[in-house]
Amino acid sequence: MYKDAKYVKGLTKMSDRPTPLPEILLVGRSNVGKSSFINALLERKSLARTSNTPGKTLTLNYYEIDQRFYLVDAPGYGYARRSKSMKGEFVRMISGILRQSSDLVAVFHLIDFKVGPTEDDLEVHRDLLSSGLLVHTIATKTDKVPKTRRHAQKKSILKALGETSVLHTVSNVEKAGFEPIKQLIEEALERSVTDASPDHHD
């Protein structure tokens, strides 16, 4: 359980980033449940703003957790009504982060469990894997698939993602599946401490 979680700021350019702490970036299609995921993980009702009108903001929202790390809520990609140029801007922004942030310790790629990976999801998945970052794929909205079909759905998603992937599943509504996610976060934070060179210590 996290004790302290607060919204720090919304960034529109990388030069505005807050005091360095390890960062975990959330990426996923608009409406996949990134903001809801943050609220469910942190057990806060409405810390991260959720909406039914997706894909409007191109800001990176930083949430600071226990003065230890940031969860970064990225804008969603692949929103049908978003123009091609908006999509280009998203890609530039994300690749900017991937290039510039030495504090990025993991990326959580969220996909919709019921819908399965879309073309956009698969494209982003490949890009993330080839970035060399620690990437975890997490399917949201498991509550939308009947329990008896979940095993088959998981298998089908894994097949689409490729043999080597591991799929974590959550329901932000039922707040189910978050213990393994907390474990992933701890592992990513531990790795970042081990990896850091001496001059990165306080």
Ligand X SMILES: Nc1nc2c(ncn2[C@@H]2O[C@H](COP(=O)(O)OP(=O)(O)OP(=O)(O)O)[C@@H](O)[C@H]2O)c(=O)[nH]1
> Contact positions toward ligand X, by CB under 6 A?
28, 30-36, 50-52, 54-55, 75-76, 140-141, 143-144, 171-173
Q: What DSSP character marks residue 75? A: P
> Is the CB of 137 or the CB of 171 nearer to ligand X?
171
Q: Least CB distance from residue 127 to ligand X, whole Å? A: 18
**Nearest to 35, CA basis, from 174, 140, 168:** 140
Can you tell me whether residue 152 is helix, strand or coil?
Answer: helix
Q: Which one of ligand X, Mg ion, none interacts with residue 59, CB within 5 to 8 A by kind?
A: none
Give the DSSP H/E element, type plus range, for residue 193.
Answer: helix 178-195
> Is the CB of 35 or the CB of 137 nearer to Mg ion?
35
Instruction: State which of residues 35, 39, 137, 140 lies at the interface with Mg ion (CB under 5 A).
Output: 35
Q: Least CB distance from residue 50 to ligand X, whole Å? A: 3
Q: Least CB distance from residue 36 to ligand X, whole Å? A: 3
Give the DSSP H/E element, type plus range, for residue 111.
Answer: strand 104-112
Rounded distance, CA 47 to CA 65, Å? 12
